[in-house]
Amino acid sequence: MHNRLKLHEKLVRILGSRNVYFQPPETIKMNYPCIVYERYDINNTHADDDVYLSECQYRVTVIDADPDSEVVEKIAKLRKCRFIRHIVVDNLNHDTFSIYY
């Protein structure tokens, strides 16, 4: 299975619902709480003039009305995860992380 699909399934398990969206179009109606994520960068490690290891970096945003969401804590504990910022938009909390997966 492709790494993005593995990440997707991990996020579904953490959230406890299928409200996980990869690069959703603006026309989609999202249900909250949800997780929105997108590929942000690719980090290549080189050896012998070739790519030895390639990891995708994803921006993962938890969107929830609850400012103390358990989902944020669970995402923060993932391997190779870094918290980026918290903002509130339309009374919804947006917690954004960077994850290499």
Q: With H, G, I as helix, E, B as strand and everything else as coil, classify residue 13.
A: helix
- Tens digits of residue pLDDT in 17-72: 999 999 999 999 999 999 999 999 998 999 988 998 889 999 999 999 999 999 99
- Tokens (6 digits) for 100: 């290499």
pLDDT of 1 > 80? The answer is no
pLDDT at residue 2, as a whole number:
79
User: Which structural domain range is residue 63 located in?
Assistant: 3-100
- Tokens (6 digits) for 99: 């994850």
CATH number of the domain within which 48 lies? 3.30.2000
Longest CA span, the chain: 51
Q: How many domains does one find in the chain?
A: 1
- Please tell me the chain's helix, strand, coil percentages from 3-state DSSP, rounded to the nearest 5: 20, 50, 30
pLDDT at residue 52, as a whole number:
84
Whether pTM > 0.85 for this model: the answer is yes
